[in-house]
Amino acid sequence: MSGDHSDATIAQRVRRLETLLEEKGVLSGARLDEIIDASLTGASPANGARVVARAWTDADFRARLLADGTAAVRELGFMEGSYQRLRVVENTDTTHNVIVCTLCSCYPLRLLGPSPSWYKSEAYRSRVVREPRAVLAEFGLELPAGTEITVWDSSAETRYMVLPRRPDGTDDLGEEQLAALVTRNALIGTAAV
Amino acid sequence: MADGDRFPPGTAVRTFHHDPPHHTRLPRYARGKRGVVVEPEGRAELADVSAQGRGDAPVEQVYAVRFAARDLWGEGDHHVVLDLWESYLEADEEGAAR
């Protein structure tokens, strides 16, 4: 029911809906642009990277982030006014986390920006819950056989973000330099840092 | 945990095995499966009803529920966590005894 993400079909449907909303005087195009801008303003993986760098350098913040992700990222000014809950899941020496939305394409947009097209693909959504180790290997992430993998399938109002492991040899780096190391895929769990 | 949550963390649960003719957030691959509650996530309108455009959706607790890949797919050593509304779940007495 919610499996169709063919861009052409969706784009057509969206254009038609926009036209109808305007024709019927429900919403003007300008107002619609304002709403879209507001939801995307500042939405970037740089936000998630900042959160991670703070967690790597501030143990108290890290504890708060893992206990209540929404409240912790609000300390940094993210997810203000969002009705969604953020849950941050932490990678360790022995555990790895990866996020998906098998039903559609739920994604922590405000912290990670617009999602990559592969995240919305049938292939990723259907395979990562079934054979995550193989899928991660295709992303170039080979995990040791003993690493426990958890796949978080966002099926309600919680959005997930991965707290990657801080790489070795980064003790001398400051928060900004650390943030620059964190990629979008590391925040999804399809890469390490 | 808020009062009235039926399933505290660690509770063994089983998902319903239904196939409704409308939108649901219980994915097909997790129907009729055994899992363990990780944590309550807060209350939300039941999407099965609100997605039909009805204004009378019940508000229920949503739980993060952890499933072993072996129980979902018959193979694999990973786990999958899903966010599931309370009415998708029932206590799994057998699972609790395992």
* A22 and A99 assigned to the same domain: no
The verdict on B79 touching A (C-beta cutoff 8 Å) is yes
Average pLDDT, rounded, for chain A: 92
A2: in domain:
no
Percent of all residues in chain A with a pLDDT value above 70, rounded to a whole number:
96
- Write the CB contacts of A108 (distance below 8 Å, at least 6 apart in sequence): A48, A84, A86, A159, A160, A161, A187
CATH number at residue A74: 3.90.330.10
Nearest CA of chain A to the CA of B96: how many Å?
21
Asked whether the beta carbons of residue A150 and residue B81 sit closer than 8 angstroms, the reply is: yes
| Any domain includes A1 | no
Tell me: pLDDT of A5 over 60: no
Residue A146 lies in a domain: yes
User: Which of A105, A117, A121, A155 is an active site residue?
Assistant: A105
Test B42 with A130 for CB contact under 8 angstroms.
no
A119: helix, strand or coil: helix
A53 shares a domain with A26: no
Residues of chain A positioned with their CB less than 8 A from the CB of B26: 155
Q: Calculate how close chain A gets to B25, using CA atoms only, in Å.
A: 6
**Banded model confidence at residue B4, pLDDT cuts 50, 70, 90:** low
Q: How close does chain A come to B68, measured CA to CA in Å?
A: 9
What is the count of structural domains for chain A?
A: 2
Residues A90 and A182 in one domain: yes
Chain B residues with CB-CB distance to A149 below 8 A: 77-79
| pLDDT tops 50 at residue B1 | no
pLDDT at A148 over 80: yes
Structural domain of A25: 7-40
Lowest model confidence (mean pLDDT) among A38-42, A54-58, A74-78, B11-15: A38-42
Question: Are both A63 and A158 inside the same structural domain?
Answer: yes
Residue A30 and residue A65 share a domain:
no
Taking CB atoms and an 8 Å limit, are B23 and A158 in contact across chains? no
Check residue A36 and give its pLDDT.
76
Q: What is the pLDDT, as a whole number, of residue A86?
A: 97
Tell me, yes or no, whether A35 and A126 share the same domain. no
Q: Please check whether residues A57 and A121 belong to one and the same domain.
A: yes
- A155 pLDDT exceeds 50? yes
Q: Kindly list the residues from chain A whose CB atom is less than 8 angstroms away from the CB atom of residue B83.
A: 153-158
Is A2 tagged catalytic?
Answer: no
**Ordered DSSP codes for A76-95:** TT-STT--SEEEEEE--SSE
Same domain, A100 and A157: yes
Write out pLDDT tens, residues A67-102. Answer: 999 999 999 999 888 889 999 999 999 999 999 999
In-domain check, residue A83: yes
User: Are A161 and A135 contained in the same domain?
Assistant: yes
Q: Is residue A193 part of a domain?
A: no
Is residue A106 among the annotated active site residues?
A: yes
Does one domain contain both A124 and A53? yes
Same-domain check for residues A92 and A116: yes
In this structure, which amino acid lies at residue B87?
Answer: S
Per-residue pLDDT of A6-23, as tens digits, reads 567 888 888 899 899 999
pLDDT the model gives residue B93: 86
The whole-number pLDDT of residue A11 equals 83
Are A31 and A49 in the same domain? no
> Which domains can be identified in chain B, with CATH numbers?
12-97 (2.30.30.50)
pLDDT tens, position by position, B24-61: 999 999 999 999 999 999 999 999 999 998 889 999 99
Give the pLDDT mean for A130-142.
98
| A117 is a catalytic site residue | no
